[in-house]
Amino acid sequence: MKQKPNKIQKKDWEAVDSPPLSNDILNKMRPVKELHPDRPSRVRGRQKLPIKKPVSIRLSPDIIEYFKSEGNGWQTKINAILHEYVRKHTVA
């Protein structure tokens, strides 16, 4: 079951009575790209400042596993740790 978004009240969420998807309904479904070919597949919004640069880096599997187990924002956490390291090791 899909999670209720925080901005929707519980009573409104529970009031929606969605019928089960029958085979007939599923057979009529078409991909959005097929029905709207001009729609971009995904558009990313403007990045917050400072703008970060994408890089490819090889990390040990245990490092990746640890940070991913911490949940969303794991790459941001790695970035913050590296920022702190640089701050501590920069001669003023």
Quick check: is 36 in a domain? no
Binning pLDDT at 50, 70 and 90, where does residue 3 land? confident
Q: Say how far apart CA 46 and CA 52 lie, in whole Å.
A: 11
Task: Give the domain extent around 53.
Answer: 47-92
Can you give the pLDDT at residue 77? 95
Determine if the pTM surpasses 0.85.
Answer: no
Quick check: is 12 in a domain? no
Quick check: is 61 in a domain? yes
pLDDT in tens, 32-91: 889 888 888 777 777 777 788 889 999 999 999 999 999 999 999 999 999 999 999 998
Can you give the pLDDT at residue 2? 67
Domains in the chain, number: 1
Contact (Cβ atoms closer than 8 angstroms) between residue 76 and residue 83: no
Binning pLDDT at 50, 70 and 90, where does residue 1 land? low
Q: Say how far apart CA 28 and CA 21 lie, in whole Å.
A: 11
Token readout for 83 is: 């920022």
- Chain centroid offset of residue 61 CA: 21
Quick check: is 30 in a domain? no
Quick check: is 39 in a domain? no
Quick check: is 5 in a domain? no
- For the chain, the farthest-separated pair of C-alpha atoms sits apart, in whole angstroms, at 69
Quick check: is 41 in a domain? no
Can you give the pLDDT at residue 65? 96
Q: Which residues contact 13 (CB under 8 A, 6 or more apart)?
A: 4
Quick check: is 83 in a domain? yes
